[in-house]
Amino acid sequence: MKKNKSDLIRYLFFLSAILSIALIILISFFLFKEGTVIFKEVGFLNFILGKDWSPTNTPSSFGILPMILGSLYITLIAILIGGPVGIITAVFLVYYTKDKHYRFLKSIINLMAGIPSIIYGFFGMVVLVPAVRYLFPSNGNSILTAGILLSIMILPTVINLSEVAIRAVPRFYYEGALALGSSKERSIFKVVLPAAKSGVISSLILGIGRAVGETMAVVMVAGNQPRMPKGIFKGARTLTTNIVMEMSYASGVHRNALIGTAVVLFMIILIINLVFTIFKERNVNG
Amino acid sequence: MSKIKIKDFNLFYDNFQGLKNINMNIEENKITAFIGPSGCGKSSLLKSINRMNDLVDSCVTNGNIYFDDKDIMKTDVTQLRKEIGMVFQNPNPFPMSIYNNIAYGPRTHGIKSKEELDKIVESSLRKAALYDEVKDSIHKSALKLSGGQQQRLCIARALAIEPEVLLLDEPTSALDPISTLKIEELLQSLKDDYTIVIVTHNMQQALRISDNTGFFLNGELIEFNETDKLFTFPENEKTENYITGRFG
Per CB-CB distance under 8 Å, the chain B contacts of A183 are 78, 108
CA distance A15 to chain B (A): 43
What are B's interface residues with A at a Cβ cutoff of 8 A? 50, 52, 55, 57, 78-82, 85-86, 88, 90, 92-96, 104-105, 108-109, 143, 154, 157-158, 161
Distance of CA B109 to the CA centre of its chain: 21
Q: What is the pLDDT of residue B57?
A: 86
Q: What is the pLDDT of residue A278?
A: 85
Q: What is the pLDDT of residue A286?
A: 42
CB contact under 8 A, B92 and A175: yes
Q: What is the pLDDT of residue B168?
A: 95
Distance CA B81, CA A93 (A): 26
Q: What is the pLDDT of residue B198?
A: 96
CB contact under 8 A, A178 and B52: yes
Which of these, B161, B99, B107, B108, lies nearest to B131 by C-alpha position?
B99
Q: Which domains does chain B have, with CATH numbers?
A: 2-243 (3.40.50.300)
Q: What is the pLDDT of residue A283?
A: 55
- Tell me which residue in B80, B92, B109 faces A176 most closely, judged by beta carbons: B92
pLDDT < 70 stretches in chain A: 1-3, 283-286
With pLDDT > 70 as the criterion, what percentage of chain B qualifies?
Answer: 99
Q: What is the pLDDT of residue A1?
A: 56
Question: What chain B residue is nearest to A191 in terms of C-alpha separation?
Answer: B94
Chain A interface, best mutation among B49, B72, B92, B140, by max A CB count within 10 A: B92
Whether A97 contacts chain B with CB within 8 A: no
CB contact under 8 A, B104 and A190: yes
- Tell me which residue in B55, B95, B108 faces A180 most closely, judged by beta carbons: B108
For the cut 80, the answer to whether the pLDDT of residue B247 exceeds it is no
For the cut 70, the answer to whether the pLDDT of residue B229 exceeds it is yes
Helix or strand holding residue B35 (H, E)? strand B31-35
